[in-house]
Structure 1
Amino acid sequence: MVRRIAVFACSLGAIAVAGAAHAQDAGQAGAAPDRLQDIVVTARRVNESLQAVPVAVTGYNAKALAALDIKSFGDIGKTVPNLDVQRQFGSASAPQFYLRGVSTGSLKFEQDAGIGLYVDGVYLGRPAGTAFNLADVDHVEVLRGPQGTLFGRNATGGAINFITAAPKGQFAVRMDGTVGNYDRRKGRISIDLPALGPLSARVSYVHDENDGYVKNLTPGRTFTFAQPFGTIKSVKSFGFENTDAVSAAVRLDLDRFLVDYKFDYTDKISSQLGQQALVNPVLGFGLGGVTVPASTTRLNALPLDFASASHLRIQGHSLTATYKLTDDISIKSITAYRKLDEFVGGNDIDGAAFTAGGIPFQAIASIQDRHQHQWSQEAQLLGKTGNLDWVIGGFWFDEKGRDNNPVFIFTPFPPGLITPSTNNPLSGTGNDYFSGANGSVNNRSYAGYAHLGYKSERFELAGGVRYTKDKRKEDLIAAGSIVTPTTFKASNDHWDFDATATWIANRRVRTYARFATGYLSGGVLGGVPFKPETMQSYEIGLKGDFLDNRFRINAAAFHSIRKNVQILSFSAAAGTFLVPLRKEKTDGVELELTAVPTDGLTFNASVGYLHDRLSQDLGPRQSQAPKYTASVSGQYDLPKFDNGSYLSFRMDGFFKDKRNSDPLPNSATGAITRLPSRFDINGRFGLVEIPLAGTTANISAWAQNLTNNKKLEFARDLGAPLAVIGVFQVPRTYGLDFGLRF
């Protein structure tokens, strides 16, 4: 590890030396700025400079997103301090986020996530299913810390907002392609149409596919289930993906009245990464002599005869209308509808393929069919009166979902139609829903909020308040010991507050102190009610641009207190269950640095430190967030050639500390489920802005996970006598990007 970091640091140093030496006679540099560029964010629901917002926030523009290959929520955890994003088992499209120790690990409709996920300002009700491509992302904002007043419930850890591109009103075409190892093939086209009076439009399409990273030793095995499941077939490889995504944007600009319609659609067929047995299970039930190819290092081939492809379809519609009553007062409305349909398919959890008397046998496996749709409406009155800025708003959210998820434990599958049942004589438990569930939910939320800010030349004061009312209903057909249809209801409400004081040293340097609360809605899971989770956070920060606007530092230190913490876990004996935790205290530090030491050369670095203290009065518990996260990157754009093109070099390094993958410590398997620290390196080298027959072309070579790390990314003890399973990170990938602009 030390050697890899040293090699990486030396490489960055070489870029710096080359840049400094070349700067003396560089002439006109490439695309990299000679000064730090401003980034516009909407952290306070209005467009502001990132440096002027007294909140810990990381912003990415389109160029940074392309350099880091960020195309979905699953890719965002690279350079944000104290943010970790990892794959998990259960769905190929459900990344697990940890932001300041708060997780979005839930795959259940009954329990919400503690990090607010947004597309174009529209809240996504389900974090499970967010690893979908957005065809035309313009910029991304990651707000750290509770955002309870302006972004509402379920933003205790923070909020992540993807903003897609708006039409420009001038004809333009952008085409991009990628080829790489593991048969990676990607194509993207975006077309901006010329404006027709006040109307402009933009449309984008992307196709992205690869053939997977781990071979399946038991491909093509079929199992036929009763509806809604149908026939599944085991995949050829694990980690493959075939995605088609479309986005469209239409804008009507009538001076004082602006209307934006945004549409996104993704159709994704994929398989989970190989779920590998890390230790041999103790199997009874007359299966003596059967062994599992267990290993704590990544295997290149696995026998998972029940692992089938997942099919995810996501669509979203949003209509944002803004009307200026006066130059200083406007009304804004955001109306949105989103829909998720996912057939997860067969999930082979035991890490092997078994037979009993020649009949396929699953030690533990599941199949899942899930659907969700949501409506939301938000209205805002925004204004400015003298030194006062204010926003008053209301929010309504209605979500319906249904989920059919039987879990098969020690179950043989003889030929013929398979009908999951609560009275299955072939099942090891006799109930295919004992560790799973079949039911539906209806979740509703209403809120009203207000936020006021006072600005002077030397200081700012701001504060907000929000009231939220939640109503939740769970209709269970079968789950655990519940085998007859039963309805459960829950209702709760909460007040959230924030207050911020900012001292402005000068127009480029400011410090702030912030108090904020957060609220994660309560509810009922499997008929068991659970309380809302609450958070109080205290934060101080510094934002400054120095050295003639060539060096930027953003720093924050925080202390937070969470009560009635909601953590979900899974075991074969209990299925998905809530791990009770009364209180968690977290201290943290975050540092982001950007430097432009010379024309064409840019450095970025970030460090996050997190110290969690979990109450142990309800039994031993352990944090699953890494204690340290860090990133470092360097990009050097050489001076332009006579034809206007230039060479660009970039390297990125990402570090995350060792961390626990299981919330419940187990002395027998704790060392196995503890994920190792890792340092991944990405690199890119390209020739940019090549004039070509009236167009502009780009070509670059890239590599991700350059040192080919094969570290454990997720692990879980399923409970005796079953295996401990794990998922390993994607190996080294590399390829070529090429593009045209005209």
Structure 2
Amino acid sequence: MTNRTPQEEHMAVSLYYSHSNQVALLAALVLALGFTTVPTGAGAADEVAGLEEIVVTARKREENLMATPVSVSAFTGDDLADRQITTAEQLAGATPNLTFNRNSVFAGSNAAAVVFLRGIGQADFVPTVEPGVGIYVDGVYVSQSTGSVLEMMDIDSVQVLRGPQGTLFGRNTIGGAILVNSRKPDDTFHGDAEFTYGSYDRTDFRGSVNVPLGENLFGKASALYTNRDGFVKRPLLGGEDANSGDDNTLGVRGALRWEATDALEFDLSFDYSRDRENPAASAIVSNFILPASPLTSNVAFHNFFVAPGLVPTLGPGAFFTDFYLPPNKHTDLSDMPGQHSDLDIWGVNLTANWEISDTLAVKSITSYRDLETDFSNDWDHTPLAISHADSEVITGWQWSQELQLTGKAFSDRMTWLLGYYHFEEDNDYVAQVTFPAVTVASGALIDNRSDAAFGQFTFNLTDQWSLTAGGRYTDESKTFTVDDRIQFIVSSFPLPPIPGLPVLPPPGFRLIPLGKTTLDVSEFDPYVNLAFQWTEDLMLYASYSEGFKSGGFELRNTAPAAAPPSFNPEFATVYEAGLKWSGLERRLRLTASGFFTEYDDLQILVTTGGIVPAPLTTNAGEAEITGFEIEAVALPLPQLELSGGVGYLDAEYKKLDPRAIANGTFLDTPLPFVSEWQTNLSGTYTLTAPALAGSFRARLDWSYRTDYATFAQFSPDLVQDGVSLLNASLTYVHDSDKWEVALSGTNITDEFYILGGNAFIGNSGYTNSNLGRPQEWALRFKYRF
């Protein structure tokens, strides 16, 4: 039975009676075209078999999802295509308790990721802040948030693992891991080409070709090009080409597989991605008036620097003003020329697998990645020169070597893995930020080294009980060479003593003396899991795990200091229990997990004062997070597949550091990017049309999350109210399966929502926010050969 509100019931009845003739006409058309219903998914042959088995590698070996005692959301490449997931950020709409935003809170970059899982993540893009959720591409850890908004190009599967993941993966990840696995070359000639045209002059091309190169050598090449105008208008900078939130990406990937023997194979891959875009889609959302200083609002800046007295003085106690707020929320009144978001990133990966025997195997993953990004942005989003980033440049590289030894023992009752991981990373960060009276040049060389040994053992105590225990020892070192200075004073503004404005030092003044500073940390993280296979279809499990995220150094220093300010590592202890059940002759699949997290020394991003305002990372104190996830897939009819999930989080600070309190974070302040509830529901219905030599597949994807704060310092303008997003698609697939055409829409109800932002409440006097994409439509054609 369908649950409807009274309004929905009234609408359904009205539609039935007022459009009965249209229904009859549609029924006649269906019969004329010879529509019949067929099972969703693999086809009629699978009708009795029920849902397809999903294979995951969450424990570094191939296992049935329902036999893996961990909390994981898994998607095949076909799932991603059906859900219109073309970039990694869109995973959040289908994964309970996941936040994945394209725009970092304090960045003009269009390629900086903000990822939170179960309330743990990172909000800043600078290379001194570690991701809280690790992203792995074909087993290789991607160290920087900039460049982590991955295009889903020729993807085989994506898995989202929740909780600390140190005992099986090269890099320690405190909040979870996202595993992206590309399709590997095989021994047949085949390929595909896909073209999409849509809203904002969207033009996408994706294609791949697989070619056997010899008896045991196979190759594959993939490419994509995406181009789309921005959706945030910037009328003071020109036409459509100036709008922010645009896409202009070129990506290529090549792969070789050599099966040297029946027991030894090598996979070599290369990837390159190039972005040339405008800044992230953002706009000003509010202004503030703090009477203590005439330089704490856009109005005050305008009066003081541009046209004194032009804007009437606000009355006593006034706090907000709509001055320079655009009439349309998707409008940015910036007039700063040259804003951009450029990215070049490439990498190479060599993976070797050697099955020494039936009970022993070795795996080696060697990788190198190179990053160069350059972006600029007008932070205040007004025609005034209040604050803007003239340039932020990050150039860096990473290389890693991982070795895994896996095996079985005691008549296969025990499986085990031992691993070693070495990681090196060098980054050069240079930024120039301009304010009305001063330009601050900040920069640093960051040199990170990490070595880790990890292992995990699973022992089948009985046919039903299994015990898993593991641990990870990590030794890390970070070297930081800083260069922060006041570049020059703007002489055209004679500044008398003004309350609230600090006395400016002379040009060329170094905020922090040149020199190297090192942070070293060593940690051991344990993991224990007990699983019980109650019946063939029901498994229960409970686990205990610990994880940590490294500390680092502040890059945006605006106050003099004898040494670079730093922040400490953060730690998480997670208690979890869950179940996995399949029923109704494999037509229903249910997974559920509940957890409690003790979160200590958590790192948050706050805006602090100084000579000029700047966002800095600080350790907030202690917090507790309780929650659960439930996911289900069902085949109520052979031609209808339903799936959905719900996530719940109850997160609160328990103890705060004085520095966090001083910067506006209090015990009742919500943790950033935490919604109490997140839900999603999808449905796919398939009809065959023999007269049209094909079938139609209709799909709806709906997601909802309750309100959430997007900044650690509470600001009402940076709290997103509950938002519901609806996507839809209608796909025709030819019987030959060689081609298909689809009409699709995203955010079809055109909801306005924000992704993040900054509140410069006590200094520059404005709040800006990054904006979510509006309603969009697209027509896609795909051909396979």
User: Does 2:526 align with 1:508?
Assistant: no
What SS does the corresponding residue of 2:387 show, helix, strand or coil?
A: strand
The answer on 1:262 being equivalent to 2:269 is yes
> Equivalent residue for 2:721?
676
What corresponds to 2:363 in structure 1?
Answer: 332
1:299 deviates by 3.3
CA positional deviation for 1:246: 0.6
Partner of 1:598: 637
Following superposition, which runs of at least 4 residues in structure 1 exceed 4 angstroms of deviation? 2-7, 25-28
Q: Is the 8 A contact 2:170 2:420 kept in 1?
A: no
Q: What's the CA shift for 1:195?
A: 4.6
Instruction: Say if 1:6 and 1:342 are closer, same or farther in 2 by CA, change over 3 A.
Output: farther
Aligned to 1:406: 432
Query: Residue 489 of structure 2 aligns with which residue?
Result: none
Quick one: distance in 2 between partners of 1:440 and 1:536? 32
Distance 1:599 1:564, change over 3 A: same
Pick the aligned partner of 2:72 from 38, 47, 57: 57
Q: State the Cα deviation string for residues 489-519 of structure 1 (Å, max 9, x = none).
A: 1000100111000010122210100111111
Alpha-carbon offset, residue 220 of structure 1: 6.3
Query: Match of 1:684, as an amino acid?
Result: S
| Contact preservation (8 Å) 2:272, 2:346 | yes
Shift of 1:681: 0.2
Q: For 1:612, what is the secondary structure of its paired residue? A: strand
Report the alpha carbon displacement of residue 31 of structure 1 after superposing the two structures with TM.
Answer: 3.7
Cα offset, 1:538, TM superposition: 0.4
Which residue in 2 is equivalent to 1:534?
571
Letter in 2 for 1:183: D
Question: 1:676 and 1:46, CA in 2 relative to 1: closer, same or farther beyond 3 A?
Answer: same
Whole-angstrom CA distance in 1 between matches of 2:40 and 2:233: 43
Distance 1:733 1:211, change over 3 A: same
Question: Aligned equivalents of 1:30 and 1:604: distance in 2?
Answer: 12
1:307: Cα distance to partner? 5.8
Is the 1:180–1:736 Cα contact (8 Å) retained in structure 2?
A: yes
Q: Structure 1 regions of 5+ residues with no counterpart?
A: 222-233, 355-360, 411-427
Match of residue 80 from structure 1: 95
Number of the residue aligned with 1:439:
444
Shift of the 37–159 alpha-carbon distance from structure 1 to 2, 3 Å rule, reads: same
Distance apart, 1:407 and its partner CA: 1.5
- CA distance in 2: counterparts of 1:5 and 1:199, whole angstroms: 62
Give the equivalent residue in structure 1 for 2:604. Answer: 567
Q: Output one character per residue of 1:42-76: Cα deviation in whole Å (capped at 9) or x when no partner.
A: 11111111111111001100111111222333222
State the distance in 1 between where 2:141 and 2:399 align.
10
**Structure-1 separation of matches of 2:150 and 2:202:** 17
Amino acid of the structure 2 residue aligned with 1:511:
L
State yes or no: 1:349 paired with 2:379.
yes
The one-letter code matched in structure 1 to 2:60 is R
1:454 Cα offset (Å): 1.0
Change (3 A) 1:312 1:550: same
**Letter of the structure 1 residue corresponding to residue 671 of structure 2:** S
Q: Tell me if 1:489 matches 2:507.
A: no
Match of 2:387 in 1: 363
Relative distance call for 1:468 and 1:640 in structure 2 (3 A) is farther
SS of the residue 1:454 aligns to: strand
Deviations 1:135-193 (A, max 9, x none): 32111010011112212554111000111110121001201110001000011111010
- CA shift in 2, pair 1:69/1:10, >3 Å: farther
State the shift of 1:525 in Å: 2.6
Q: Which residue of 1 aligns with 2:464?
A: 458
Maintained 8 Å contact 1:600/1:639: no
Of 532, 543, 553, which aligns to 1:524?
A: 553
Query: Hey, what does 1:279 align to over in structure 2?
Result: 286
Q: After superposing the two structures, state which structure 1 stretch, 62-71 or 700-709, moved more.
A: 62-71
Shift of 1:362: 4.2
Between 362-371 and 474-483, the greater mean CA deviation after superposition: 474-483
Which residue number corresponds to residue 399 of structure 2? Answer: 375
The alignment covers a number of residue pairs equal to 687
Question: Given that residues 399 and 444 in structure 1 are in contact (C-alpha distance below 8 angstroms), is that contact kept between their aligned partners in structure 2?
Answer: yes
1:4/1:146 Cα in 2 relative to 1: closer, same or farther (>3 Å)? farther
Structure 2: distance between partners of 1:606 and 1:567: 28
Q: Of residues 286, 303, 321 in structure 1, which corresponds to 2:352?
A: 321
- Does 1:707 find its partner at 2:749? yes
Q: CA deviation at 1:461?
A: 0.8
| Residue 151 of structure 1 pairs with residue 169 of structure 2 | yes
Distance 2:553 2:37 in 1: 65
Mapping of residues 137-176 of structure 1, within 5 Å: 137-151=155-169, 153-176=171-194
- The residue number in structure 1 matching 2:315 is none
Displacement of 1:710 in angstroms is: 1.5
Are 2:777 and 1:734 equivalent residues in the alignment? yes
Instruction: Give TM-score scaled by structure 1 length.
Output: 0.88
The percent identity for this pair of structures is: 26
Residue 276 of structure 1, CA deviation: 1.5
Partners of 1:348 and 1:365 within 8 A in 2: yes
Aligned to 2:82, the other structure's residue is in SS state helix
Match of 1:225 in 2: none
CA distance in 2, matches of 1:54, 1:296: 52
Point out where structure 2 has 5 or more consecutive residues left out of the alignment: 17-26, 288-297, 312-321, 487-509, 556-563
- Please give the alpha-carbon distance, in whole angstroms, between the structure 1 residues aligned to 2:327 and 2:576: 40
Describe the shift of the 1:4–1:537 C-alpha distance in structure 2 as closer, same or farther (beyond 3 A): farther
Give how far 1:403 is off: 0.8
State the alpha-carbon separation in 1 of the partners of residues 601 and 194 from structure 2: 48
